């Protein structure tokens, strides 16, 4: 007689014939899935997925990714799952050619039916995914369709990774650069705001309001939170040519139009956030606000099933700041060079012998 646990694990009354039909169609087809953990760059919030087998728990970035995966895993730590798994199921895919002004590529849509759950698309803030591979196609799933518990089959659909998106999946540690920015706009300035610790004499902290990049808000993120969208079409230069200093560090004054969308924020919290941004701009001088008439706007987001409105607000800022490119190679060469000090006039000149040329730094 089967135990209660074994009974619960057995398919429903429709499960057995449905599985027999699937096994007849798939002819024992097997697909290998590889586990990737979510890594968020601290500088600008950009998301990469890193093959779990190359992440070391002793490294800072690996420890953060593993901790996030364990939290998302609930009672069973997600990181304890296997780095790869082989799933039997029926795979269908179709391919069509795409041609745009930026690239020519093939786009493959994938449908996979299996007896095993691959990715839990209902998970709150998932920090791991499994990427399938079959005959050169690498794919993930964005939708689970027509799940009928009695049949006990899982139907997944998704799109194969294009060459552009495959760059966000890291296969070796050397290709993950965590020390330089990806974005070229003011987003890092917004993400670096310490809402828990305003400058001295500043407005009340808005500590209950984390900020995320637009399109990269964690899945099912509970409010309150803010999404920062910087319209690329509004980014303009405010000086015709950049200034290059003695180290060839690039400075160019530019402006951005920034939209911050707040969810779950009531009027007081939204106004506290506005006051905080204005004060930080004045106190830190990392960026300047060009529009003096920035106010909080209410937005309408409905859900017909419940006949309710979401607590959604929007603030639009026009700011200016310096777009910079620091010459890290030169800085590294100088930091490792032998430095001598010469005194001339009223200024100290440090001469750094870097082997190829002498670089003078005015002191």
Residues of the domain holding 75? 4-175
Contact partners, residue 47, CB within 8 Å, separation at least 6: 38, 39, 40, 41, 168, 216
List residues bridging with 308 in a β-sheet.
Answer: 303
Say whether both 298 and 199 belong to one domain.
yes
Cβ count within 10 A of residue 189 = 19
The answer to whether residue 180 is domain-embedded is no
Determine how many CB atoms are found less than 10 A away from the CB of residue 200.
6
pLDDT band at 227 (very low <50, low <70, confident <90, very high): very high
Query: Are 332 and 314 members of one domain?
Result: no
Q: Is residue 128 part of a domain?
A: yes
Tell whether 152 and 207 lie within a shared domain: no
Please check whether residues 201 and 53 belong to one and the same domain: no
User: 187 in a domain, yes or no?
Assistant: no
284: domain CATH number?
3.30.2000
39 and 170 co-located in one domain: yes
266-272-275 Cα angle (round to 5): 140
How far, in Å, CA of 144 to CA of 213, rounded?
26
Give the pLDDT confidence of 90-121 residue by residue, as tens digits: 887 888 887 888 788 888 888 888 777 776 55
Q: Specify whether 273 is located in the same domain as 129.
A: no
Same domain, 168 and 31: yes
Backbone angles phi, psi at 298, to 5 degrees: -85, 140
3-state class of 259 per DSSP?
strand
- 185 falls within a domain: no
User: Is 165 inside any structural domain?
Assistant: yes
Does the residue 188 lie in any domain? no
Three-state SS at 153: coil
The DSSP result for 27-69, as a single string, is TT-EEEEEEEEEEE-TTT--EEEEEGGG--TTSHHHHHHHHHH
- 222 and 251: one domain? yes
DSSP H helices in 73-214: 163-166, 187-191
CA distance 195 to 209: 7
Whether residues 144 and 247 fall in one domain: no
Q: What is the pLDDT of residues 280-321, one digit of tens each?
A: 888 877 899 997 778 999 999 888 888 888 899 999 999 999
The answer on 149 and 250 residing in a single domain is: no
Residue 336 domain flag = yes
pLDDT in tens, 160-209: 888 888 888 988 877 878 778 888 889 988 988 877 666 677 666 666 78
Instruction: State which of 131, 147, 175 marks the end of a domain.
Output: 175
* Separation CA 49–CA 37 (nearest Å): 5
Cα–Cα dist 248/311, whole Å: 47
**120 located within any domain:** yes
Q: Do 200 and 157 share a domain, yes or no?
A: no
Q: What is the pTM of this model?
A: 0.71
**DSSP state at residue 337:** S
The answer to whether residues 334 and 277 belong to one domain is no
Number of domains in the chain: 3
């Amino acid at each position: 007689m089967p135990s209660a646990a074994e009974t619960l694990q057995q398919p429903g009354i429709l499960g057995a014939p449905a599985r027999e039909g699937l096994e007849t169609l798939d002819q024992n087809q097997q697909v290998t899935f590889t586990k990737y953990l979510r890594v968020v760059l601290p500088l600008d919030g950009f998301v990469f997925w890193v093959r779990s087998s190359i992440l070391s728990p002793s490294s800072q970035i690996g420890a953060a990714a593993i901790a996030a995966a364990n939290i998302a895993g609930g009672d069973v730590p997600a990181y304890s799952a296997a780095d790869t798994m082989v799933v039997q199921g029926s795979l269908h895919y179709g391919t069509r050619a795409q041609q745009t002004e930026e690239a020519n590529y093939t786009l493959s849509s994938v449908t996979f039916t299996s007896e095993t759950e691959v990715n839990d698309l209902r998970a709150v803030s998932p920090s791991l995914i499994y990427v399938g591979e079959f005959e050169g196609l690498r794919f993930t799933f964005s939708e689970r369709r027509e799940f009928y518990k009695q049949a006990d089959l899982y139907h997944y659909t998704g799109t194969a990774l294009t060459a552009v998106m495959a760059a966000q999946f890291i296969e070796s540690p050397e290709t993950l650069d965590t020390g330089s920015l990806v974005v070229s706009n003011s987003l890092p300035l917004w993400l670096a705001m310490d809402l828990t610790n305003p400058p001295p004499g500043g407005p009340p902290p808005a500590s209950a309001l984390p900020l995320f990049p637009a399109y990269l808000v964690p899945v099912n993120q509970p409010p309150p939170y803010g999404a920062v969208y910087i319209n690329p079409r509004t980014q303009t230069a405010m000086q015709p040519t950049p200034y290059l200093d003695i180290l060839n560090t690039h400075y160019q004054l530019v402006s951005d139009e920034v939209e911050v969308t707040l969810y779950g924020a009531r009027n007081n919290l939204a106004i506290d956030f506005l006051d905080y941004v204005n004060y930080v701009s004045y106190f830190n001088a990392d960026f300047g606000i060009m529009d003096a008439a920035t106010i909080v706007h209410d937005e309408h987001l409905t859900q017909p099933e419940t006949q309710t409105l979401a607590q959604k607000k929007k603030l639009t800022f026009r700011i200016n700041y310096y777009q910079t490119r620091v010459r890290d190679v030169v800085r590294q060469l100088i930091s490792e060079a032998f430095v001598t000090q010469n005194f001339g006039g009223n200024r100290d000149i440090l001469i750094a012998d870097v082997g190829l040329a002498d670089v003078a730094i005015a002191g």
